[in-house]
Amino acid sequence: MNIFKNRSVVGVLCILLSLLICFGVTPLFNRAVSEKTEIVRVVKEIKVGDEITDDMVQTVEVGGYGLPDNVLRQTDTVIGKYAAADLSVGDYVLSTKLTDTPAADNAYLYNLDGTKQAISVTIKSFAEGLSGKLQSGDIVSVIAPDYNGQGSTVIPAELKYVEVIGVTASSGADVDAAKDTGDEDQELPSTVTLLVTPEQSKVLASLEADGTIHLALVYRGTAENAAKFIAAQEETLAALYPVKDTGNAQETEDVSETNQITEVESGAE
């Protein structure tokens, strides 16, 4: 180790090391910094839960050095997905900020299959919406004071058992989702969204326009038991709105027309 005690030797080694850095390491570093790659960048403000469309993002060329491993590089891998966080103009799109499913606060709207509809009714007073305690999955009865202007308070047969699928504040945020997070400063509910058939939606729309709606909690618990209430309501709806047999109706109409023609022919004879 006496060799390192010689200042001349140490000086030569330092010079050699500096030359290695200048002509070896530095060019490699500069080459890595100067290399370009394509990534996906946001060109429009995107809010959490928004579906990504082709006008919201674009592919741009940037320096490849220091980019996160999860940055997305092709718009095909982004379009059609949903934002899991707010994205601002100029942000790089990372895989951790996207999801394949809608945000939890509006996922129920994506589960509609055409047989039922989602309709919201206004909570005009704190008491009408069960003092803000309703939440998704509840089964409620819709009470209509002065139903059809008859002066009596009734529960319409079509609305005895209805499922709540959303409770929303005036800002548009789902209040029942805020309950799960323990947010003490959550807003009060302004509307309740119900899952109904087209026939039920017409009754609700009429009550919303002409009267006052009160919601009474019937059941809160397992989805299996809630389905029993909905099944009972569907039986009532089937009795109130029987499905017409279009085939038999057409056959009856054809027989009637045939009889009329026969009568005309007989009279002509």
Instruction: Classify residue 22: in a domain, yes or no.
Output: no
The yes-or-no verdict on residue 79 having pLDDT over 50 is: yes
Are both 69 and 122 inside the same structural domain? no
Select from 99, 127, 142 the last residue of a domain: 99
Q: How many other C-beta atoms can be found within 10 angstroms of the C-beta atom of residue 127?
A: 11
Is the confidence at residue 19, as pLDDT, over 70?
no
In a domain, 216, yes or no: yes
State the pLDDT at residue 5: 56
Shared domain for 132 and 176, answered yes or no, is: yes
Which among 137, 135, 123 is positioned nearest to 214, based on CA atoms?
Answer: 123
Q: Please provide the distance, in angstroms rounded to a whole number, between the alpha carbons at the two ends of the chain.
A: 137
Q: Please check whether residues 85 and 116 belong to one and the same domain.
A: no
Q: State whether 61 and 125 are in the same domain.
A: no
- Residue 251: its pLDDT value, please? 47
Same structural domain for residues 129 and 77?
no
- In angstroms and rounded to an integer, the radius of gyration of the C-alpha atoms of the chain is 34
Checking if the pLDDT of 111 tops 50, the result is yes
State which of 99, 132, 149 marks the end of a domain. 99
pTM score, two decimals? 0.55
* 209-267 residue pLDDT tens: 887 789 999 999 998 999 999 999 999 999 999 987 655 545 444 544 544 444 434 44
Provide the residue range defining the domain that includes 82.
35-99
Q: Give yes or no: residues 211 and 190 share one domain.
A: yes
pLDDT in tens, 144-200: 887 877 778 899 999 999 999 888 888 777 776 545 445 455 677 889 999 999 999
pLDDT for position 107:
64
In this structure, the answer to whether residues 93 and 165 fall within a common structural domain is: no
How much is the pLDDT for 258? Answer: 47
What is the number of structural domains in the chain?
2
Please name the helix (run of DSSP H) or strand (run of DSSP E) that holds residue 194, with its range, or none: strand 189-196
> Do residue 230 and residue 112 come from a single domain?
yes
Instruction: Specify the CATH number for the domain of residue 78.
Output: 3.90.1210.10
Nearest CA to 96 out of 80, 72, 73, 76 is that of 72
The reply to whether 112 and 174 lie within a common domain is yes
Segment 30-50, tens digit of pLDDT: 555 556 788 999 999 988 778
